[in-house]
Amino acid sequence: MTESTNGRSSPGPERHRGGVTLRRDSIPPSTADEKLLDSHHRGEWKTKDAWRALRILSEFVEGFDTLADLPPAVSVFGSARSSSDSFECELAESLGAALAEAGYAVITGGGPGVMEAANRGATEAGGMSVGLGIELPFEQGLNDWVDVGIDFRYFFVRKTMFVKYAQAFVVLPGGFGTLDELFEAITLVQTKKVTRFPVILMGVEYWGGLLDWMKRRMLDEGKISAMDLELIQVTDDVAEAVRIIVDADAALAEGKR
Ligand SMILES: C/C(=C\CNc1ncnc2c1ncn2[C@@H]1O[C@H](COP(=O)(O)O)[C@@H](O)[C@H]1O)CO
């Protein structure tokens, strides 16, 4: 806890649970996701999980209700840890601006690093900037560039929103969280659980090793098909990324006519 100048403790970090804000000793050591997925306290499942189901449902309702009127949107993913002067943050900021100029809302995880840069680019270009935050033990709150923000307790509810309200995914360099989001998206497209939409990797050098491994191991050993690899497009050119998204949108609209 940090001491403020008047001798009282300042709020310090805070945790958000729906409309509830928790500070200081009221911040619990675990998160809602951790409690839901915990397999150790079986005795509690019957009583507590039934109530959790309602909370999960209310989180879906809040997400659907808030995002239903969003213009066409693109979900942008990338590291929470990148500094604002990194290659990926500079790219994310230009991308956010270009997407806004093309009429797309930008959806991110609402956190720091690449997410903040993409939100900043969108906001500064006059676009709609959305942050879908997640309750984490080391949560920092939504970044300052988010105009429409929702704090989720459950990762899987939040992931539904990233997919449901986006016309495309753009994935910049990142760690486990980013890879999780990338592979969930391509699995959904590969298994035709969602209408095919562009999944664009930005950061040609960063992703090169992973793409090589996919070709040399996954493809060569028959774990994926050549068509699966075509689900992913790679570029460092912001204008090209936007063009891929606009073209895919136009093709889809054409097919629906
Ligand atoms: C690590 C730090 C803060 C974490 N804050 C986050 N806020 C919102 N969303 C997050 C956060 N961390 C991860 N995510 C999600 O995963 C992706 C980034 O994860 P990575 O492991 O950094 O690649 C991102 O797209 C989010 O959706 C303190 O700096």
Query: What is the biggest distance separating any 2 CA atoms in the chain, rounded to whole angstroms?
Result: 67
One-letter amino acid at 249 equals: D
Instruction: State ipTM.
Output: 0.92
| pLDDT tens per residue, range 234-255 | 999 999 999 999 999 999 888 7
Residue 233 confidence (pLDDT)? 97
Q: Residue 46 falls within a domain, yes or no?
A: no
Q: Tell me the CATH number at 163.
A: 3.40.50.450
Q: Residue 11 falls within a domain, yes or no?
A: no
Q: Residue 71 falls within a domain, yes or no?
A: yes
Q: Residue 13 falls within a domain, yes or no?
A: no
Q: Which of 23-32, 112-121, 164-173, 223-232 has the lowest mean pLDDT?
A: 23-32
CA of 80 to the centre of ligand 1 (A): 4
Task: Tell which atom from ligand 1 comes closest to the C-alpha of 76.
Answer: 25
What's the structural domain count of the chain?
1
Say yes or no: CB of residue 198 within 6 Å of ligand 1.
Answer: no
Please determine, for residue 1, whether its predicted confidence score (pLDDT) is greater than 60.
no
Say yes or no: CB of residue 136 within 6 Å of ligand 1.
Answer: yes
Mean pLDDT of 20-35: 72
Please determine, for residue 2, whether its predicted confidence score (pLDDT) is greater than 50.
no
Query: How many whole angstroms separate alpha carbon 85 and alpha carbon 95?
Result: 15
Task: Tell which atom from ligand 1 comes closest to the C-alpha of 110.
Answer: 8
Q: Residue 184 falls within a domain, yes or no?
A: yes
Residue 24 confidence (pLDDT)? 67
| pLDDT tens per residue, range 138-183 | 767 899 999 999 999 999 999 999 999 999 999 999 999 999 999 9
Residue 197 confidence (pLDDT)? 86
Give the pairing type, strands 199-201 and 232-234. parallel
239: tokens are: 């204008």
| pLDDT tens per residue, range 109-130 | 999 999 999 999 999 999 999 9
Q: Residue 8 falls within a domain, yes or no?
A: no
Say yes or no: CB of residue 119 within 6 Å of ligand 1.
Answer: no
Domain housing 78: 62-256
CA of 135 to the centre of ligand 1 (A): 11
Q: Residue 244 falls within a domain, yes or no?
A: yes
Q: Residue 4 falls within a domain, yes or no?
A: no
